[in-house]
Amino acid sequence: MSVLMVTGTGTGVGKTVVTAAVASLARERGSSVAVVKPAQTGVTDAEPGDLDDVIRLSGVTTTFEFARFPAPLAPAAAARLAGLPPVSLDRAALRIEELARSHRLVIVEGAGGLLVRFDEEGATLADLARTLSAPVLLVARAGLGTLNHTALTLEAMAHRGVEPVGVVIGSWPADPGLAERSNVTDLETLAARPLAGALPEGAGSLGRDAFARMARAALGPALGGGFDPAAFRATLRLLP
């Protein structure tokens, strides 16, 4: 794949850390990789954004942020509140296609979830993925509520003709409860494929070398890692 989209079942599920992990593995393989954030919201021009975290964790420095809006809202609403033009996903697609011609992998991290609006016409990350014929990696929570959110997002992908790469748990707790342990099998059933990875909670606070080791262990072969979903399932006790 030359373009990979990363979305989540909602905000705060670990998209940026997963994006950094995928970028870290691509960099480790010697691939030329670029990371794109079409719209960054919730930070001012003077504050670090998600791409700063990607650089810190992965060492990938070829990054592009197409627009930034200070309000912590969906891109369309944040642009409207700031009195700024919204992101044009058509222009974003052209820029991403240009990057894909000179990079082995371009990772595009969305804002919020798959159907968050980027402009007043309702353009979404799903539209961008379809325009680029790019597969989408879905980042999900581990705990209660994740099954419904994951099912809805996967259904939306299917309805819009978007290809899912798989589901990654963005933050796997050190001491998972019954809900988290039980949800693993159900997430795989919803995705109709084995889990594509599970990043440990706190992964975003690791140093770069430790983060690279974590990425190798926590992401599956399709993403360049050695995560074994069957071995992961075998560690789970479904009874307290």
Catalytic residues: 37
CB-neighbour burial class of residue 12 (10 A; exposed 0-12, middle 13-18, buried 19+): exposed
At residue 140's C-alpha, the angle toward residues 188 and 212, to 5°, is 95
Q: How far is CA 95 from CA 19, 79, 133, in A?
A: 19, 20, 14
Cβ–Cβ < 8 Å for 85, 49: no
Q: How far is CA 206 from CA 12, 17, 53, 56, in A?
A: 18, 11, 11, 10
Cβ–Cβ < 8 Å for 104, 32: yes
